[in-house]
Structure 1
Amino acid sequence: MCHVLIIEDETLIALDLEDLLQSNGATSFSFAENQEDAVAAARANRPDLILSDVMLTEGTGTLAVRAIRDAYGPIPVLFITATPEACSPYALPGEIFRKPLDRPAIGAAFCRLAFAA
C-alpha cells in the first residue's frame, strides 16, 4: 500500500500524475493546491511519498514539504517544477524533475523511492 500526497495547483497536471503513479503501484492519493492545504492533507492521512510542485498559488511546495517532514519524519519527495532552482535554498532531500513531465523518469523515480525497503 502506498499513499501519495500530490501538491500541485494545476488540476490537469495533478490528475495526470495520479494516473501515472497509480499505474506504477500507488494505491491512494491526497491532493493539495497550496501550502496550507498540503500540511492539512498530510495531517489527515500521512503520506508514504510526496510529489510536489514548488511554486504554488499560495505558499510553496518546498515549505509545505519541510513542515510535513518536520512533523512526520523522512518521507520521500519528488519535486516536479518549472523552477528547479527554487528548491536549492531549502536543501530538502528528494529528486527534482523539470516540467513538462518526463513520465518514464518520474515513474521510475516513484518506484525507486516508494518501494525501497
Structure 2
Amino acid sequence: MPNGHITHVFLDECGHSMEPEALVPLSGLVGRDTQVVLAGDPHQLGPVIRNPQCFSSYSLFKNCGLDKSYLERVMESAPYQPQPGQGFNAQVVTKLLNNYRSHAAILKEPNDIFYNSELKVMAVVVVGLG
C-alpha cells in the first residue's frame, strides 16, 4: 500500500487491550496524517494478565505493566483530562452518557463510583417478561 493510503483506524474496545496488542497492528499502517480513534471505556474490564510479573506493581515494570490498557494510559495524559468548569476537550474526547442497556438499579453503583453520576438511564423497562 502506498504511504497515506489508510486515513482512519478505529480500535474498538481499546480499554480491554494491552498496549502491545493495540500498537503492533498500527505499526507500519499509520502515517503522519492517519487518524487513530480509540473507542472503549477505561472503567470497564481491563486487560487480562495471567503472569503476575507483568503487573505494574511488579518491580520489573514500575507502574508501566501490561495491566494498564492503551486507552487508560492515553487518557491519563493532559490533552485527554477534563478541564475545570469546561469538561473534556470535544476535539479529542467524546463521552457517551446515555445508557440504553442497564436497569437503573444495576447502573447506580458504577455510575456513582466511576462516572460522577453523569450516566443517564435510557433503557426501556419491559413488564411481563419472564
Normalised to the residue count of structure 2, the TM-score between the two structures is 0.31
Larger CA Rg, structure 1 vs 2: 2
More strand by share: 1
More helix by share: 1
Higher relative contact order (CA 8 A, sep 6+): 1
